[in-house]
Amino acid sequence: MGLKAGGWRQLVDYLHDPYQVARFQQLCGVAAVRSSAANGDYSHGERRREEEEAATGSRARYRGDASPARSQDPGCGKHLGKNGIAAPSRHCGGDAVANASRARDTAKKPRRRNSLNDEAETQFLVRNRLLYYLFSLGTELGNELFYITFFPFWLWNIDPYVGRRLIVIWVWVMYLGQCTKDIIRWPRPASPPVVKVELFYDSEYGMPSTHAMSGTAIPFSLFFLTFGRWEYPYAFGLLLASSWCILVCLSRLYMGMHSILDVIAGVLYSILILVIFHPALDLIDNFNLTYKYAPLFIISLHLGMGLFSFTLDTWSTSRGDTAEILGTGAGIACASHVNHMFGILPDPPLDALPFSPPAITFNLITRAFLRFAVGVVVLLLTRAVLKAGSIPLACKIFRIPCTDIRQARKRMEVELPYRYITYGMVGFVALFLVPSLFNYLNLS
């Protein structure tokens, strides 16, 4: 028996409620710190009262209630919080509890400043540093630093065939996710009650979570593309993909960047895209490799997709990220075509399947590390040179003042060309120039 319309509405409201995110953060040991506390300009009594409230596990500030009523307990000056948990008052060992609380809790600022206004003034308490670092790792699995290291490493050291197809899926998943965000325009969870552990993407809309989309698409695409091509246990691959996905999804709740509904929608949306595009990967990859005019079509398609999607009335990180993704995808696809023409990184014959993972030796690790180190240096230099040249050039062409580079980069006439050209060349260099350099250095 299905839910009625009212039941569905209640379920959606429940999953989109920021208080659910705040409760998850509290469960994981994240607590807000008052702005005065962050500046250290409140009295010792106020500090101790705040620590006592944290000790009782009170959720009053997340529900918007008044301070919980306390009834005195005759035992050694203890009082009972609203939830019935006894907490020492300032008359009975309060200083010892406060000192222990300070030693246990770690005050931190958001991991990144807000990309729109540089806001990073708020602080929060981390009571479980293991979860903080674990979920920080999870959220990095959907950021640029991960993409610019993971994809090249896979292309240079593991399997270019799988890497090309993985990037096709990644481009479509991220592009559709970013466009959907800008169409639906649902805000991110409100703060308060949510604690903003990360602020950089706060200028974007929240529905669906593109971190959850990439955190679903990348590991499960890798699983589907490699199982049967490489020899490894099915259960191991499925467990690894599932763990990767769950870690990324939970990290977005921990960071206060998405509601539960945003994350669930991102996972389901990504699965839908995988179902549609996975059967077409062979056709797309063969077209990129063999069709005579593939580079012209690839560049035109990605440019058209970008111009169609950038209709926001205000600036956000969404526009630049989408341009980076489209540029990277176009560069990789064009490099695949050129590699096929010149016989660089040829695909192994199908009769060699399935591949057995090589024995881990010192020589193997050393060569993989050298390839990665040399390649990343080349990519970073490429990005730096093109970024430094394309921004002033775009400003000059479109007659935009370039005295404040940060503000000039937010203009669409500057941001789109510089990001598309820069990351298009980064993608092309990663799959064509760097492997050619490896051949020259005898690192293939």
Residue among 16, 79, 211, 302 flagged as catalytic: 211
Residues in a beta bridge with 123 = 33
Beta bridge partners of 333: none
Cis peptide preceding 354, ω within 30 of 0: yes
Catalytic residue among 258, 278, 302, 337: 258
Cα 64 to Cα 12, 54, 277: the distances in Å are: 21, 15, 45
User: What is the SS3 assignment for 109-172?
Assistant: CCCCCCCCCCCCCCEEEECCHHHHHHHHHHHHCCCHHHHHHHHHHHHHHCCHHHHHHHHHHHHH
Q: How far is CA 175 from CA 87, 144, 179, 182, in A?
A: 51, 15, 6, 11
Helix (H), strand (E) at residue 253: helix 234-254
**Count of positions (residues) in the chain:** 444
Sequential DSSP letters for 339-371: HHHHT-SPPPPGGGPSBPPPP--HHHHHHHHHH
Beta strands at 123-126 and 106-108: parallel, antiparallel or unpaired: antiparallel
Amino acid at 428: F
Is position 211 annotated as part of the catalytic site? yes
Distance between CA atoms of 201 and 135, rounded to whole angstroms? 16
- Tokens 């931190």 belong to which residue? 108
Cα–Cα distances (Å) from 133 to 22, 30, 113, 280, in that order, read: 19, 12, 18, 38
- Distances from the Cα of 217 to the Cαs of 149, 157, 239, in angstroms? 17, 21, 15
Tokens encoding 185:
């325009």
**Residues recognised as catalytic:** 211, 258
